[in-house]
Amino acid sequence: GLHSTGISGMSFHGGGVGVFVASLWYLRRKGVRFVDFADFIVPCIPLGYTFGRIGNFINGELYGRVTTSPWGMYFPMDPSGSLRHPSQLYEAMLEGVVLFAVLWALRRKEAFRGMMLPIYLGGYAAARFIVEFFRQPDSHLGLIAGFLSMGQLLSIGMALIAIAAGVYLRRNGK
pLDDT (tens digit, 9 = 90+) per residue, 136-150?
Answer: 877 666 677 778 888
Q: Is residue 14 in a domain?
A: no
| pTM listed for this prediction | 0.82
User: What is d(CA 131, CA 87) in angstroms, rounded to the nearest whole number?
Assistant: 7
Distances (CA, A) of 34 to 30, 103, 144: 11, 18, 34
Q: Is residue 95 in a domain?
A: yes
Residues 91 and 53: beta-carbon distance below 8 Å: yes
**Tens digits of per-residue pLDDT, 42-89?**
999 999 889 999 999 999 888 899 999 999 999 998 889 999 999 999
Total structural domains in the chain? 1
Q: Determine the structural domain holding residue 38 and report its residue range.
A: 27-172
Q: Is residue 22 in a domain?
A: no
Q: Is residue 17 in a domain?
A: no
Going by C-alpha positions, the residue among 118, 116, 122, 133 that lies closest to residue 155 is 122
- Confidence label for 174 from pLDDT (cuts 50, 70 and 90): low
Q: Is residue 19 in a domain?
A: no
Question: How high is the pLDDT of residue 140?
Answer: 66
Q: Is residue 7 in a domain?
A: no
Q: Is residue 8 in a domain?
A: no
Question: How high is the pLDDT of residue 99?
Answer: 97
Q: Is residue 10 in a domain?
A: no
